[in-house]
Chain A
Amino acid sequence: MVVAQRISHVQLQYSHTIGRGEQFGPGFTYPIHMARGEDDLMYVLCRSSEYRPEGTRITVCTVDEEYVNAFARGVPQQGPHEYNFEDGSLVWPVNVAIASDGTVYVSDEWLHRISKFTRDGEFIGKWEENIGSGDGQLDRPAGLAVDADDNVWVVDGNNHRVQKFTPDGQFLTKFGSHGDGDGELDQPWGIDIDSQGNIYIADWRNDRIQKFSPSGDFLMKFGSSGSGDGEFNRPADVAVDRDGIIYVADWLNDRLQIFDPDGNFCGSKTGEATVSKWGKDKLDANPEMWGERERAPNLERERDFWAPTGVAVDDANRVFVCEGPRNRIQVYQKQSPMFMGPRL
């Protein structure tokens, strides 16, 4: 008897690694999040430390690791209470999203600010900072997503809710409140929107993912606290591909988890990093380090994810995982379970 085999796993094949630790030029400084732009461009949001603010920036490169440019620098510190909040600068940037016209949005959870740049990195405006808990006000904005109408959804972290705005920052609607019940949120972080307009939220301190309708109605939740399959330790980000497959950056479990459209666990990845092109350049410039690598035991540790905070998936089914502490992005390719031909 012939038995049809049910496909139970989404197959992700490791592709390559992008990045190296750099404050300037080719490389990243704590890449906390990224967004895919046109022409294979990647906009990688780097959140450096307070003592090296110049490393805070958006690095633009291609998926093939060609450096393009960088913009939106961090703010040099002047004292315990003094800051220059000039337009276009970043203090605690969290998320980046790209609209259909290429406009780049960046959230900053210290400035409570949403900044806008052109696709080439020119500052073109910001939503006026309006700190608070009223409609349209933000308190530590985190995740950003642009929907099919180019409206912007903002995860309003300390207000434990999600708000929807027009591109120029006019409040449209909101959902969510503080708690752990269905539809309630606890310091949410990441967000994504699927092809149907449904909204997925990394409900960070509730250790779960929640799904909402385009009008903000609760639809589904999955996950609980822990380190087992389908459990989370502070999920930082979520991404959904064209087939509805859900990818979660399981931050303090140091892994990527994968779920089917109903939230059923499909698999996980703990990292397969290899030396990137930029990394090879750096090692070639410091050749003694090739030797040090050969002598180092357990070099395979270098493969592992460390505290991933960002996950993105593009239309080519490539999954990007941002690892801040390792200054790199690991790229995976989803394999198609559907026979595509022409050869067996």
Chain B
Amino acid sequence: MAEQDIALMAHLMRRAGFGATYEELEARAAKGYEATVEELLNPESQPAIQDDILMRYQPQWVSKAGLEGQQEEWTYRMINTKRPLEEKIALFWHHIFCTGHAKCEYPKQQNIELDMFRTLGFGNFEELLMGLSMDPAMVFYLDNCMSHKDAINENWGRELLELFSLGVGMDGNANYSEDDVKEAARAFTGWTVTNSIPRYPYGKYEAAFIYDPSDHDYTEKTFLGETGNFNGEDIVKIVARQPAAARFVARHMYNFFVADEPQVPAWQNTPPRDPEAVKMLEDEYFRSGYDIRSMLRVLFNSDFFKNARFEKVKSPTETVVGTMRLVGDFDMPRPGLNAMTLTIRYMGQDLLNPPTVEGWHTGREWIDSGTLVERINFTADAVGDTSHRGVQAIISRLGSEGATISSERLVDGCLQLLGHYQLADVTRNELIALADSEGELRTGTDEFGTRVGQMLQSIVATTEYLFE
């Protein structure tokens, strides 16, 4: 198996999933790149996680009543899924279509939204926006249940346009006006949710979306240049056919899967980092009839994707989940999951509870002096624990290369087995010097595993390892 094929597969699995062990990369490379892309794009071809086992050992995952429990469950799914892109696409849309626990206060309701992302998230963007418009968590989070025909609340209408479908502007021009926001809000009057049974004494119950025709504004609206007696469905249809919608989806995909872009508020006046790549995705959006899966297929098979290695700062979720998949920890439900999951929060990403409706700022904004320490401590602890199955596999593999291995090979072998990471020459040379200072490395000794673990710890503490 050519190492460049494995390196490319490592790149694909980091972006379309949460990374993979070297053994999985070898198997996938043997299967072929495009075949793996198709498998990832069609998650139903792989077995689902056995929910009965999870719920037996983690009973609170039945009720999904607490934020931390729901964060645990999602993290566990991301670590153990055989359908990595299914969870990655849910994370992608969660980054964009934010609802927050601080307001919703019922994780089960947000999990229903995640399930929608797992299914509709691969499909037609118009249908996804319709699903979102009728999602009780979103209807409540953005106050559309408080928008009435005689007193509109603009929150949903505004965020639908600004943060969920078009963006404020592109190519230096605005994508919509304040009047469009108000007209969209009027069109969505009557889209509301049922009153819920209060949490006492037996816990919450899911709310349901309902359309209340008696509270809908039936008067004529003019929206994005079109006039009619529009209801919410019409607004979504008009939105989905805008060039700005194609740009919006394409640019978000590029930022999430390919390379870090400027943050969303800058998009009106800051062109895409790779305009040709974003144009390819925009074209596929219209060619495919707004099909997200088709856009992802173009993306993953493109040269711009294949060449964009280590151009993205890992999110906290990608950092933690990727590390756990690598070392093979939490492959069965066990205590300690809560502490592990909380590190994602400490690194700056409180899943299901983003700081604002704009979600998280990504890229280098993930890193500050506090979150950097959390990252390095967490990843170093994990890869330095030589009892982990995944770490043992790395030790065993390197140990099979001969009676001794050189310092250069120790560094390069660890980089290779971590997923073909690349270091700047100055960093690599320092690690080689570090290995040299420890003396000859004999593979048959007790010290060997320890030294491999220490080298892995040194690698994950580098600047380069912050990227994927």
Contacts and interface: CB of A to CB of B under 8 A. Distances in A.
Interface in A49-107: 49-52, 77-83, 91-92
B112 to A, nearest CB: 15
Interface string B199-228: 111110100000000000000000000000
Nearest to B378: A80
Given A51-B66, A77-B336, A79-B339, 9 more contacts: A30-B59, A49-B69, A50-B68, A50-B335, A77-B338, A252-B52, A286-B198, A302-B205, A307-B62
A112 to B, nearest CB: 12
Contacts of B63: 30, 306, 324-326
Contacts of B60: 30, 48-49
Contacts of B200: 20-21, 279, 282-283, 286, 289
Contact of A110 (B201, B335, B339): B335
A296 B334 CA distance: 38
B432 interface: no
Contacts of A282: 200-201
Contacts of B266: none
A187 B198 CA distance: 36
Interface string B311-353: 0000000000000000001000011111110000000000000
B52 A301 contact: no
B326 to A, nearest CB: 15
16 contacts: A20-B200, A20-B201, A32-B59, A49-B66, A50-B337, A77-B338, A78-B339, A92-B57, A234-B52, A279-B200, A289-B200, A296-B194, A297-B195, A302-B202, A302-B205, A328-B201
A292 B198 contact: yes
Given A77-B339, A81-B336, A91-B335, A293 B62 contact: no
B198 A50 contact: no
Contact of A296 (B197, B202, B203, B339): B197
Count chain A CB atoms within 10 A of each CB in B195, B199, B329 and give the residue with the most.
B195
Q: Nearest 4 CB-CB pairs, A to B?
A: A279-B201, A20-B201, A325-B63, A80-B336
B65 interface: yes
Interface string A200-241: 000011000000000000000000000000000010000000
Contacts of A306: 62-63
Interface of A: 19-21, 30, 32, 47-52, 77-83, 91-92, 109-110, 187, 189, 204-205, 234, 252, 273, 275-276, 278-280, 282-283, 286, 289, 292-293, 295-299, 301-302, 306-307, 309, 324-328
B72 A21 contact: no
B327 to A, nearest CB: 11
A328 B335 CA distance: 25
A331 to B, nearest CB: 15
Contacts of A295: 195
B196 interface: yes
A29 to B, nearest CB: 9
A79 B336 contact: yes
A205 B200 CA distance: 34
Contact of B57 (A109, A279, A309): A109
Interface string B381-398: 000000000000000000
A174 to B, nearest CB: 22
A297 B194 contact: yes
A293 B202 contact: no
A50 B71 CA distance: 12
Count chain A CB atoms within 10 A of each CB in B198, B339, B340 and give the residue with the most.
B198
Contact of A92 (B65, B197, B335, B338): B335
Nearest to B340: A80
A326 B340 CA distance: 27
Count chain B CB atoms within 10 A of each CB in A21, A91, A283, A328 and give the residue with the most.
A21
Contacts of B55: 307
Count chain A CB atoms within 10 A of each CB in B72, B199, B338 and give the residue with the most.
B338
Interface residues of B, number: 32
Nearest to A142: B56
B66 A52 contact: yes
A91 to B, nearest CB: 6
A204 B336 CA distance: 26
Contacts of A91: 335
A110 B199 CA distance: 30
A116 to B, nearest CB: 22
A20 to B, nearest CB: 4
A328 B202 contact: yes
B263 to A, nearest CB: 32
B59 to A, nearest CB: 5
Contacts of A187: 56
Contacts of A78: 339
B335 A292 contact: no
B388 to A, nearest CB: 11
B202 A289 contact: no
B123 to A, nearest CB: 28
Contacts of B340: 80
B339 A80 contact: yes
Nearest to A79: B339
A307 B202 CA distance: 13
A49 B73 CA distance: 12
Interface string B116-140: 0000000000000000000000000
Nearest to B57: A92
A33 to B, nearest CB: 11
Count chain A CB atoms within 10 A of each CB in B59, B68, B200, B338 and give the residue with the most.
B200
A327 B336 contact: no
A204 B63 CA distance: 20
B195 A275 contact: no
Contacts of B338: 49-51, 77
B56 to A, nearest CB: 8
A322 B74 CA distance: 26
A247 to B, nearest CB: 20
B197 A301 contact: yes
A91 B65 CA distance: 19
Contacts of A110: 334-335
Contacts of A275: 201
A77 B69 CA distance: 14
A296 B195 contact: yes
A57 B392 CA distance: 38
B19 to A, nearest CB: 19
Nearest to A279: B201
Count chain A CB atoms within 10 A of each CB in B55, B195, B201 and give the residue with the most.
B201
B68 to A, nearest CB: 4
Contacts of A302: 197, 202, 205
Nearest to A280: B201
Given A110-B334, A327-B203, A50 B72 contact: yes
